């Protein structure tokens, strides 16, 4: 099973700042990595799939990068609605697994 | 507009079987390019993939739950279902249904979630 380790666990930033979230895989997942955003009481929302492709309707400030074992989600300029929990997910190896999440909070 | 709706949340007793359905509207459940999945999220914790099923009924399960899980699809009712047997308190979670674009997939649409509590 591929273990995805996200860092940091919590990130405290202000609106307008740049956020950089990391996801590291225990073995190569090629570019088969997705990112989700989850707000309290809501279902996860797909942001990025296959490492760098934005899902439908996702603003351009969300950027995914990386390959193999190291991936990054960058939010170039934080908007108030971006403060949430972010999860990565791999689909390269069975079973599908998720990271433990990074909480992005307002500083 | 695709919409997925889990059946009502509820209370299940330990050792019993948890049953949930996901009603799909706005898209054809029989379209071969789509797969239908269940995930869960214990309170305050992260996400866990439970399993995925194709429109034709081929199911893929998480190894950690495989012995207790059955996922089925009812194309006539445009819904798919989850059964989890011999539940314990550790199975208390919000259960989500979702759509994938292949059997090893990301998930582009999710239901709003249903909280299932295991308690006597």
Q: Could you report the per-residue pLDDT of A49-107, keeping only the tens digit for each?
A: 999 999 999 999 999 999 999 999 999 999 999 999 999 999 999 999 999 999 999 99
Distance in angstroms (rounded) separating the CA atoms of residues B55 and B43: 30
What share of chain B in percent tops pLDDT 70? 99
Helix (H, G, I), strand (E, B) or coil at B77: coil
DSSP state of A40: T
Q: Could you report the per-residue pLDDT of A32-43, keeping only the tens digit for each?
A: 999 999 999 999
What share of chain B in percent tops pLDDT 90? 79
Interchain proximity B104–A94, CB inside 8 Å: yes
Distance in angstroms (rounded) separating the CA atoms of residues B78 and B62: 24
Interchain proximity A89–B110, CB inside 8 Å: no
Interchain proximity A44–B47, CB inside 8 Å: yes
């Amino acid at each position: 099973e591929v273990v995805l380790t996200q860092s940091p666990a919590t990130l405290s930033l202000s609106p307008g700042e740049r956020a950089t979230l990391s996801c590291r895989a225990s073995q190569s997942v090629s570019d088969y990595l997705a990112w989700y955003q989850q707000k309290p009481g809501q279902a996860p929302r797909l942001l990025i799939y296959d490492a760098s492709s934005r899902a439908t309707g996702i603003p351009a400030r969300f950027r995914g990068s990386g390959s193999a074992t190291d991936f990054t989600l960058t939010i170039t300029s934080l908007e108030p609605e971006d403060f949430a929990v972010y999860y990565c997910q791999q689909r390269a190896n069975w079973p599908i697994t998720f990271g433990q999440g990074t909480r992005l909070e307002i500083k | 507009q695709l919409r997925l709706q889990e059946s009502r949340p509820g209370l299940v007793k330990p050792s019993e079987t948890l049953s949930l359905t996901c009603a799909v509207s706005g898209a054809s459940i029989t379209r071969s390019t789509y797969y239908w999945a269940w995930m869960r999220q214990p309170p305050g914790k992260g996400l866990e993939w439970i399993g995925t099923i194709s429109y034709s009924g081929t199911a893929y399960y998480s190894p950690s739950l495989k012995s207790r899980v059955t996922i089925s699809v009812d194309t006539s009712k445009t819904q798919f279902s989850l059964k989890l047997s011999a539940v314990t308190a550790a199975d208390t979670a919000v259960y989500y249904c979702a759509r994938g674009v292949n059997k090893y997939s990301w998930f582009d649409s999710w239901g709003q979630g249903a909280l299932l509590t295991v308690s006597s």
